[in-house]
Structure 1
Amino acid sequence: MKELSSQCRDHKKKYELYCSLHACPCCVQCVTDKHQKCQEMKPLWDILKQVKFSASVQLLEKDLTDMRTNFEEIIKYVNSRRNISNIQKTKAIEKIRSTRKSIDDFLNKIEQKILDDLETKHSKLKSEMNTLLQQLEQRANQISHLQNEFSEMTRFATELQMFIGLREIEKTSSLAAKYIEELESGDTFDEKNLEVTMSSALHSILQDVKSFGDINIITSQLTLRTKAGRKEQAQYLVITVPRIEEIKPSMLRTLTIPEDMKSINIYACRILPDGKYIILDIQYDKSHLLLFSNDGMFIRKVLTLTGSSNDACYVRNNTVAVTLVSANQTALVDIEKNEITETIEVSHFCSATASDGQILVISCRKKSTIVNLKDISHTILEGVSAHHIALFNGNIYGTIGKRVCCYKSTGKPLWTFIHNDIVNPAGLTLDRNGFVYIVSKQKNSIVVVSPDCKTCRTILSESDGIKEPYDIDIDRKTGIMIVSNKKSDDSCSYDSVIVYKI
């Protein structure tokens, strides 16, 4: 603050002009020296009046608060990611060890199976050989006994005894020889060897498996959402904010309502991000969402909802919120799929709704509810009452009775505006500079209130064709404004929507 001066540092003369091209104040000498080719030179006094008039203090205060909140959210997010990383490491270790245990258990199981098979087959071979040995030993003992008898017979037997004995011995030895021949001719003496053949799959594990697995860092889309800041804030505040007297809507077109739909009752009209228009038509106990093209032609009926509705707003990702008043519910409708994707229930009537893509605010004449669209958590704001609402820079704007009110997102009142030009206010919206546009139903007019709520001005009236207006919306990027309006032709009078450029 001490370094700021009202005089030019180079020429020591008072600043009198402002160069829009270089976004800097200039003295008269600066124009000659450095800004000869600059075409957009304005009196500094006019610029300073605009800065003071533009409620820049409130906007910058919000920017600083949002920036601090962003850093707090980022720090919280990084700490959360660090904790998640530690948890992921622990789970990875558990998974590795669990896999190892599963492999060990499986190998132990199939190892025991082959060992059991080995034991069974070895026992069978052993049993067969023990049986054979018993038979062979028995016959060998028999031959040995015959040998002893033959020796005794040759020494002591008579010729008759010798003759008969030899016949018996020969008969027994013949049987023994035949037994040996049968053994040799069969497979009894085939060599039966125990041999183990390891599974080729096990060999392939040893050859093909080079690692236990891979550790990868998978990058996914950022889930952290910060509040968007306004770039080059000072320059935008100085250059782009018009005076309220400079706001002059120019009519572009009127939506073309098909002949068989001229009985519609328009309760809400909204501009979609792609430039198309969505209309909420109320018919007794049913509500219809109607889609129109950029050039105002009817495209199709999106959906019919049962029950009375009062308001609708664009949320995000082709989703429109529609209030179901007496049911204390708000339906989220996918306008591409033509279906209700979710129903949000609150503790009060759902008269009005507005969204900035991060939150959904649902209001009635007694209180409002802020719904966090990330986790669908609810925050009730007692005393924030409105029949129609809008959101801008984190604040909630509403109309109720004769009043236009502004609240912080915490529910704290910022200001209340009452003026004779605003009678029976209905729909409201804001442009990118924070000017509040209000439908004054009884006056058949559209009134603009300055961001500091100190002044207002009627910008459209009956002389401009405004008749029985009810709702209004502005695309802040393009400056397109739409107003629901009663239109008459030769055959009848019906609801339609007028499109303006502001």
Structure 2
Amino acid sequence: MCLVGSCQNISCGESYKDHSTAHSKDKKHSLTMNLGSIRIWCYECETEVIVNKNIPSFIIPENSACMSKKKKMHVNQQEFLSVNSSPQKSSSGGDETESEKEDDKSISKDKAFTDMATRRHHLCDICFNQHITEDAIVWCPECEENFCANCKKYHEIAKASRKHEIISIENVQNLPRFVQQIKINCTDHDERFLYFCSEHDTPCCIKCIKTKHIDCRNLNPVETVVQDIKQSSSFSDLETTLSDLLINVTNFVEDRKANLQELKEQKKQCVGEIQSAREAINTYFDELEADLHNKMHRTFLKHETEIETLLEDIEPHMAKVKEMQESLNSIKTIASDFQSFMAMRMMSQWAQTEEAEQQDWVQTEKFNWVDISVIPYDIKSSKDIPPSIGTIRVKRKCGKVALKMQKSREAQLIGPVGISRSIENIHLKEKLQCKIPLGKEALEILDCGVLPNGELIFCDRKNIRLIILNSEGDVVRYLMLPFCPICFAIVDKNSIAVTTTDKVNIVDLKTGKVLRTFAEGLKARSISLQNKNFIIENLGKGYIVTNLQGHTGTANLIPINFAETFYHYPVIIKGKLYYSENESNELICCDLEGNQIWKFQHEQLVHPYGLTSDDSNFLLVCGFKSSNIFVISADGKSYREIVAPNKHLNGAISAYFNINKQELLVVTIHGNVSLYEVM
């Protein structure tokens, strides 16, 4: 019933057609009473009116629309007293001025309004929608609603929500703000997220799939990607990374403080050395001594200031890492699996950025260790009057901080977090089967790949060329090379890295011209590009890791004693290295130090050669002699033959997995090409 003036309009509530709300909007009558519960509701303030506790006393206005929103705030007595403290005295000791009283009154009203807005988030959403104010005690991330004790019972009984994990309101407030803001419904379509698109790194609903993601192939069900996320290796890796980052920042701080302390000791030593030099000459050099002192002090001041500035710059990094570490701990114990999954990806990106920045610290000159000493002038050996009694020398050494990471090579080679798939659900559908045209010599195809524009590229050793086909299997062009190619790694749309017997060549994809070379003298064979780093097989010795410019870092060698008669294409998945050993019919997994973890053998997989992966959790390997294709999990515990032996795969020597299009390209040494859609 409407309480404004003499209106007394009676209409239904939200549980039916909600004519009471329509009446409020049409007539600008904001106050109404529920005739069943005798509770009063204000539409303007969106809160219940507690008549007996209102200060000042509650009065039904003739026209509530003429009152401003703040003036119609209905604040209970306890809230009113908490925001209206005792009058304050002015700085002169007298009473407050009228202006100050008005300001305090305005502040009190604003704070009361804020308190009411904050309290709104702790009310039961079900009751609130019925114009009932009940304090919420739990939050359901899947329903994205608060529940009071009574509504919680129904939520736990209802078939649609009985399996939902609920969180206490107190724990929700402990979650980081960005985690609380993660929603399970699409903001564009208000539909539940059902899939996660790996290509765009974002969740999507059914309507998103039909619009924004209509061409995306790498879509995975949300329940699959969030399953056991808190127990996953990726979550554990993030915990380790944050811990390492905190240790790194702490070490940088301690290192700078130690250098600062040592500089103080060196300063004392320098003062003594200057004094000793001064005693060796007469008073004629007093002015020169003072000049040297000034130079010394300026030098120390400059470098001390640099170090102190660096310490100030590092401090926010330490605070941020601690904050992220605390956030991750709260996520691990409190957040839902979906929140944990999304938060983990956000925090992983931040952690990778922070880790890269700390690597830059190590390489920058600012973090070099500073030693300052005095080189005295040998007055006895000089015939002329010296311009100074000494010089100030600053010697920089490499910093003493060793970054703690999962492993230095993992920092180089591990890329973004991937989406896991079950090998039982992986199937291949043949899209293309063709034959590479013959050259002047018999074909000897050793490698294959897919260019960014979708064209297929192959390496023909005997005919000294690269062959490019379109998606229909027709020849686009031949790239004749000035050297005998072995294997390659696609760098970008314009260039490709091609190995020959003693080096790596960066070749222009349009002209075939060699742009530059590196790793000269290396017995280069297979080559792979992982996270902007080349992994180059050094025949019989292992792998060399370089950046895109061909420069090796401190952790540049992965020693493995494998056979020199065959090539071993490297694959990296989550810090593990995989390669096939043709002679022993084995697929081998080892860490990035070259230590073997496990090996896989199967009687139906003979002479495994072509090896590739989805960069997440499975490998695809071709049998050179068995003429088939196996899919094997990254832990080596499960496997399946997904393509049975056939003549077209006889001599399968190379495989390439196109992650963007979810396609597998396989080529034999004789030039038989097979292109499969991975489903």
Structure-1-length-normalised TM-score: 0.54
CA 1:258 to 1:72, structure 2 compared with 1: closer, same or farther past 3 Å?
Answer: closer
Of residues 478, 494, 500, the one that matches 1:318 is 494
Query: Could you say what secondary structure the match of 2:524 adopts?
Result: coil
Who is 1:383 aligned against?
560
Whole-Å Cα distance in 2 between the matches of residues 51 and 382 of structure 1?
36
Who is 1:345 aligned against?
519
State how many pairs are aligned.
325
Describe how 1:25-64 pairs up with structure 2 within 5 A: 27=162, 51=227, 57-62=232-237
Of residues 538, 541, 545, the one that matches 1:370 is 545
Who is 1:282 aligned against?
461
Whole-Å Cα distance in 1 between the matches of residues 157 and 635 of structure 2?
27
State whether residues 384 and 407 of structure 1, in contact with CA within 8 Å, keep that contact through their aligned partners in structure 2. Answer: no
Of residues 447, 460, 465, the one that matches 2:643 is 460
Who is 1:291 aligned against?
468
Whole-Å Cα distance in 2 between the matches of residues 300 and 60 of structure 1?
46
CA 1:77 to 1:276, structure 2 compared with 1: closer, same or farther past 3 Å?
Answer: same
CA 1:12 to 1:482, structure 2 compared with 1: closer, same or farther past 3 Å?
Answer: farther
CA 1:40 to 1:297, structure 2 compared with 1: closer, same or farther past 3 Å?
Answer: same
Who is 2:262 aligned against?
none
In structure 1, the gaps of 5 or more residues are 20-25, 85-224, 487-493
State whether residues 312 and 323 of structure 1, in contact with CA within 8 Å, keep that contact through their aligned partners in structure 2. Answer: yes
Query: Could you say what secondary structure the match of 2:233 adopts?
Result: helix
Larger RCO (CA within 8 A; separation ≥ 6): 1
Who is 1:72 aligned against?
355
Of residues 608, 620, 623, the one that matches 1:425 is 608
Of residues 433, 437, 447, the one that matches 2:620 is 437
Whole-Å Cα distance in 1 between the matches of residues 609 and 496 of structure 2?
20
Letter in 1 for 2:636: C
State whether residues 629 and 641 of structure 2, in contact with CA within 8 Å, keep that contact through their aligned partners in structure 1. Answer: yes
State whether residues 62 and 393 of structure 1, in contact with CA within 8 Å, keep that contact through their aligned partners in structure 2. Answer: no
Whole-Å Cα distance in 1 between the matches of residues 671 and 157 of structure 2?
54
**Which stretch shows the higher mean deviation, 290-299 or 338-347?**
338-347
Letter in 2 for 1:329: K
Whole-Å Cα distance in 1 between the matches of residues 569 and 622 of structure 2?
10
Query: Could you say what secondary structure the match of 2:232 adopts?
Result: helix
Of residues 356, 363, 372, the one that matches 2:530 is 356
CA 1:254 to 1:16, structure 2 compared with 1: closer, same or farther past 3 Å?
Answer: farther
Higher-strand-fraction structure: 1
In structure 2, the gaps of 5 or more residues are 1-137, 166-183, 196-221, 242-347, 368-411
Who is 2:446 aligned against?
267
Deviations 1:313-347 (A, max 9, x none): 2133532222213xx32222121242112222366
Of residues 465, 483, 504, the one that matches 1:306 is 483
Structure-2-length-normalised TM-score: 0.41
State whether residues 622 and 628 of structure 2, in contact with CA within 8 Å, keep that contact through their aligned partners in structure 1. Answer: yes
Whole-Å Cα distance in 2 between the matches of residues 461 and 74 of structure 1?
48
Whole-Å Cα distance in 1 between the matches of residues 447 and 496 of structure 2?
12
Who is 2:671 aligned against?
495
Whole-Å Cα distance in 1 between the matches of residues 240 and 494 of structure 2?
30
Q: How far does residue 485 in structure 1 lie from its aligned partner after superposition?
A: 3.7
Whole-Å Cα distance in 2 between the matches of residues 264 and 350 of structure 1?
21
Q: Aligned-residue CA RMSD in angstroms?
A: 4.4
Whole-Å Cα distance in 2 between the matches of residues 259 and 370 of structure 1?
35
CA 1:50 to 1:263, structure 2 compared with 1: closer, same or farther past 3 Å?
Answer: farther
State whether residues 414 and 574 of structure 2, in contact with CA within 8 Å, keep that contact through their aligned partners in structure 1. Answer: no
State whether residues 431 and 474 of structure 1, in contact with CA within 8 Å, keep that contact through their aligned partners in structure 2. Answer: yes
State whether residues 346 and 369 of structure 1, in contact with CA within 8 Å, keep that contact through their aligned partners in structure 2. Answer: no
CA 1:443 to 1:262, structure 2 compared with 1: closer, same or farther past 3 Å?
Answer: same
State whether residues 437 and 446 of structure 1, in contact with CA within 8 Å, keep that contact through their aligned partners in structure 2. Answer: yes
Query: Could you say what secondary structure the match of 1:336 adopts?
Result: coil
Query: Percent same amino acid at aligned positions?
Result: 17
Letter in 2 for 1:391: I
Who is 1:409 aligned against?
592
Letter in 2 for 1:415: W
Whole-Å Cα distance in 2 between the matches of residues 452 and 279 of structure 1?
30
CA 1:422 to 1:304, structure 2 compared with 1: closer, same or farther past 3 Å?
Answer: same
Q: How far does residue 69 in structure 1 lie from its aligned partner after superposition?
A: 5.5
State whether residues 452 and 492 of structure 2, in contact with CA within 8 Å, keep that contact through their aligned partners in structure 1. Answer: no
State whether residues 533 and 545 of structure 2, in contact with CA within 8 Å, keep that contact through their aligned partners in structure 1. Answer: yes
Of residues 428, 431, 437, the one that matches 1:249 is 428
Whole-Å Cα distance in 2 between the matches of residues 499 and 397 of structure 1?
23
Who is 1:148 aligned against?
none
